[in-house]
Structure 1
Amino acid sequence: MDNKHDILELLRQVADGKVSPENAMLELKEAPFEDLAYAKIDFHRSVRQGAAEVIYGEGKTPEQIKGIVERMGEKGCRNILVTRISQETGDYLSRFVPIDYHKIPRLGIAFPEARPGRGNIVVATGGTSDMPVAEEAALTAEAMGNHVTRVYDVGVAGLHRLLSNLDILMQARCVIAVAGMEGALASVVGGLVDCPVIAVPTSVGYGASFGGLSALLSMLNSCASGCSVVNIDNGFGAGYLASRINQMEGIKEE
């Protein structure tokens, strides 16, 4: 019972008399999570939130990640995101499970499965140095079934670069604005588009940027309406939230 379609099928079988209510109850009781001692895998995450549980790789051993990913794959989970892992860990996992490893954002997608992109999310960066965080956001959104357009290196130091992409920005259902330094990109984008803007401060910048704190505070104090902020370098969180926003109409229709 790792997705809502499985649960619906089980309920239909109960209604048709093919499965007893007692057996159905047993399946549902066993379904929510599995205890691997070092991790409790939440198999009902896709039922509640529409996507499989995401594995935060930093701090976990390659063997632990392998155990979690393999079990999730056996349960039918696909496009399993494994964030913040090294090339070495990605190479290790590839010996046991199918995985697409992306070096720049240090992100792996296990049991990759092509999904038709819905809607349109635009990911924009202030500079090329913001790409690791931006790619984490973009790949997260794509793995969750969204169409993503990348507009990189369009920071306010050369505002004409951003304005030349105005038609792309204005067609988006949601824009993820990724920037370090003073973090001005989010406010500028927020003043140009009619869709939600998710601001992502990055730790890119010189000493007085305080590891992304100055960008975070700038984005939190943005005067542009409709602009929200995630944590420093949290590309995954931005991509996940953008997917929710982008697919809201489709979720309601289903």
Structure 2
Amino acid sequence: MSEQEIRELLTKVKKEEISFEEGVKALKDLPFKDLGFAKIDNHRELRVGYPEIIYCGGKTIEQVREIIKFMLTKENNILATRATEEMYKEVKEFCKDAEYHKEAKIIRIMQKRPQYSDSYIAVVAAGTSDISVCEEAAITAETFGNKVERIYDVGVAGIHRLFDKLDIIRGAKVIIVVAGMEGALASVVGGLVDKPVIAVPTSVGYGANFNGLAALLSMLNSCASGVTVVNIDNGFGAGYSASMINRL
């Protein structure tokens, strides 16, 4: 529940458009809802501007089902990351509006249309193998009301492909750069733009890539100013941070 929604609720109680008891019922779970196996933070949107996101990794299908069932009562948009198709099928049984973004591994339920920003976020992928992490970032950003331009397979091994899309990249308010292998693309983009760059190392690569550690260290050691780095394969974290910057 957002601050505006709380104000509207209290105004309705004051004008006797809804009863006092109905107002209490709406507010009683505001701090959090204890489901036994999970405590859903209903206060988060009021604190930080975005409702709680469901991380499905390590959760059972039944736990995801019950969390989403409760969150639906709050009438917020719902984003569930690292979700399996089996989880989606279970959710679809009771929510026909549920969408599954297979590449991003995201279940999304849009209960209200966000107000989209005029500026946009560019999501840039070094290779096709990085697209799943890119889509996690892109879908996250779009869910929070951002326009997203996707620019895929423009890694440094064929850098002319990047230059062909440079106008679109430079037009963004913030740029997410996703790369595995040695993670060089973030430094290259960082040296070509005057916008903040959020680098996402991926676990794509051969043995010495160490499941993304090599790309992570390369990005952390970037000589290009203005490059910040999120964790390995953390497309959600990049999309969330980019949304906060884009909507300032």
- Corresponding residue number in structure 2 for 1:153: 153
Return the TM-score normalized by structure 2. 0.92
Instruction: Determine if contact 1:57/1:82 at 8 Å carries over to the other structure.
Output: yes
How far apart are 1:32 and its partner, in Å?
1.1
Structure 2: distance between partners of 1:81 and 1:226: 29
Match of 1:117 in 2: 116
Per the alignment, residue 133 of structure 1 pairs with 133
Structure 1: state its 5+ residue gaps: 249-254
Percent identity for Structure 1 against Structure 2: 55
Structure 1 counterpart of 2:62: 63
The amino acid that maps onto 2:4 is H
CA–CA separation in structure 2 for the residues paired with 1:68 and 1:186: 36
Do residues 87 (structure 1) and 98 (structure 2) align?
no
CA gap 1:61/1:11 in 2 versus in 1, 3 angstroms: same
Q: Cα RMSD (Å) of the superposition?
A: 2.3
The amino acid of 1:85's aligned partner reads A
Tell me by how many angstroms 1:20 deviates. Answer: 11
Q: Alpha-carbon deviations, 1:109-163, whole Å to 9, x = none?
A: 0245443431200000000000010000000000000000000000000000000
Post-superposition offset of 1:47: 1.2
**CA-CA distance at 1:29 after TM superposition:** 5.8
The aligned residue for residue 44 of structure 2 is: 45
Unaligned stretches of 5+ residues in structure 2 = none
Please give the secondary structure, in 1, of the residue aligned with 2:159. helix
**2:29–2:42: 8 Å Cα contact kept in structure 1?**
no
How big is each residue's C-alpha offset from its partner over 1:75-123, in whole Å with a ceiling of 9 and x where there is no partner? Answer: 2122x11111111221221111121101112111024544343120000
Corresponding residue for residue 36 of structure 1 = 35
Contact 1:126 1:178 in 2 (8 A): yes
Q: Which residue is equivalent to 1:179?
A: 179
Give the drift of 1:15: 7.5
C-alpha distance in 2 between matches for 1:187 and 1:44: 38
Amino acid at match of 2:53: V
Contact persistence 1:100–1:112 (CA under 8 A): no
| Counterpart residue type for residue 71 of structure 1 | F
Q: 1:19 to 1:95 in 2, by over 3 A?
A: closer
- For residue 252 of structure 1, what is the aligned residue in structure 2? none
**When the two structures are aligned, how many residues end up with a matched partner?**
246
Counterpart residue type for residue 219 of structure 2: M
TM-score (structure 1 length as normaliser): 0.90
| Residue pair 2:76, 2:111 contacting (<8 A) in 1 also | no
Task: State the alpha-carbon separation in 2 of the partners of residues 148 and 86 from structure 1.
Answer: 24
Match of 1:192 in 2: 192
Work out whether residues 69 and 110 of structure 1, in 8 Å CA contact, stay in contact via their aligned partners in 2: no
Give the 3 Å change call, closer, same or farther, for CA 117–18 of structure 1 in structure 2.
closer
1:213 partner SS: helix
